[in-house]
Copies of this chain bind each other. A is one copy, B any other.
């Protein structure tokens, strides 16, 4: 945390755990008898509970989206740039709910939680979770919090898929869906990168078919490789060039295979750090949720037919250099929304940072996001 708390920070925040005792049926056919969701909230719920905004996280995200856990925290939550007083998701006006998704590894029930039936971590017995399952669990969380209808459900990347799914599964329970840097379904290339990540993890000898907890180890190298390849897809060629170019750590070539280029040591560092903090089974689960997401599938691939069920308004945002989920993929969604006679605002924002641009405030991105959320707030009298 900085020495003085910035005026636009939500400040020190504490996560809360909600326990759910009723079983939840999942798309895979299995169910969880009971489970925990770890949640942070920022701002105050108004009297008619109309000012609530749900934040949905992406692959490696979690509930800690804004503020600091303690004065010693070096970094704020992962979307602190967009959540706080005066920011697009303005905590002076909105009551913001951010959770760690089911299957996560940051406190909500997931593969590294104890399976009450065996007294050991679930590991590979933890069911595969879909975007639809997440939305269902988030609706149960909304019930618990007394929120009948979200002012907005908001997410980037995999989070944007959840926002879109909300609008299909619970059309009466949200007024707006904000879908940022997302896609209506993965391409073969997207799935291919996920598959490389999964193979890296499952082929690590320390994986032990997902039971590594029992062996007091983690598939560190596999998780590191998965993160390295993922990380490349989050950045643009141009932004990597800008940041690292061909810069060497030392003066000259060393004619070996140690990290010589700055980009090599950066990637290794990112991979290593991630492998120390993220659960490998959760990584598999999150990538599979991405692969499976395809709301148009039951409608013969016609997303506008799927959207016939929806009634909310949409904000869709894409970033010019995002090659993971290109602007063309956002435009597919926008076209389908228009086809389904839905209200949709769309902008492709020029930004050099590739997919990661949704995490980085830039004037046009912030301005559009601000203006839209201001309208959302006015609608609910916030």
Contact = CB atoms under 8 A, between A and B. Distances in A.
Interface of A: 27-29, 127-128, 185-189, 191-193, 195-196, 198-200, 202-203, 205, 221, 224-225, 228-229, 232, 235, 237, 240-241, 243-246, 253, 255-257, 259-261, 263-264, 267-268, 271, 284, 288, 291-292, 294, 323
B196 A228 contact: yes
A29 B255 CA distance: 9
A295 B29 CA distance: 59
Given A188-B240, A241-B187, A193 B255 contact: no
A193 B225 CA distance: 11
Given A263-B192, A284-B257, A294-B246, A199 B186 contact: no
A218 to B, nearest CB: 14
Chain multiplicity (copies): 2
A345 to B, nearest CB: 27
A96 to B, nearest CB: 32
Chain A to chain B: the 7 pairs with minimum beta-carbon distance, closest first:
A28-B255, A188-B240, A128-B255, A203-B221, A188-B244, A189-B237, A188-B263
Contacts of A261: 188, 191, 195, 291
B188 A257 contact: no
A256 B292 CA distance: 11
A198 B203 CA distance: 16
A221 B196 CA distance: 11
A232 B189 contact: yes
Contacts of A267: 192, 195-196
A265 B304 CA distance: 31
Nearest to A243: B188
A232 B192 contact: yes
A348 B224 CA distance: 37
Given A28-B255, A188-B246, 18 more contacts: A29-B255, A187-B241, A188-B243, A188-B261, A188-B263, A189-B232, A189-B235, A189-B240, A191-B246, A191-B261, A191-B264, A196-B229, A196-B232, A199-B225, A199-B228, A229-B229, A253-B292, A261-B291
21 contacts: A187-B237, A187-B246, A188-B241, A188-B243, A188-B244, A188-B261, A189-B237, A189-B241, A191-B246, A191-B261, A191-B264, A192-B264, A195-B228, A195-B263, A196-B232, A199-B221, A202-B257, A205-B205, A225-B225, A255-B288, A261-B291
Nearest to A259: B195
A229 B230 CA distance: 11
A209 to B, nearest CB: 10
Contacts of A205: 205
Contacts of A225: 196, 199-200, 203, 225
Contacts of A224: 199, 203
A264 B195 contact: yes
Nearest to A294: B246
A188 B235 CA distance: 11
Contacts of A292: 253
A254 to B, nearest CB: 9
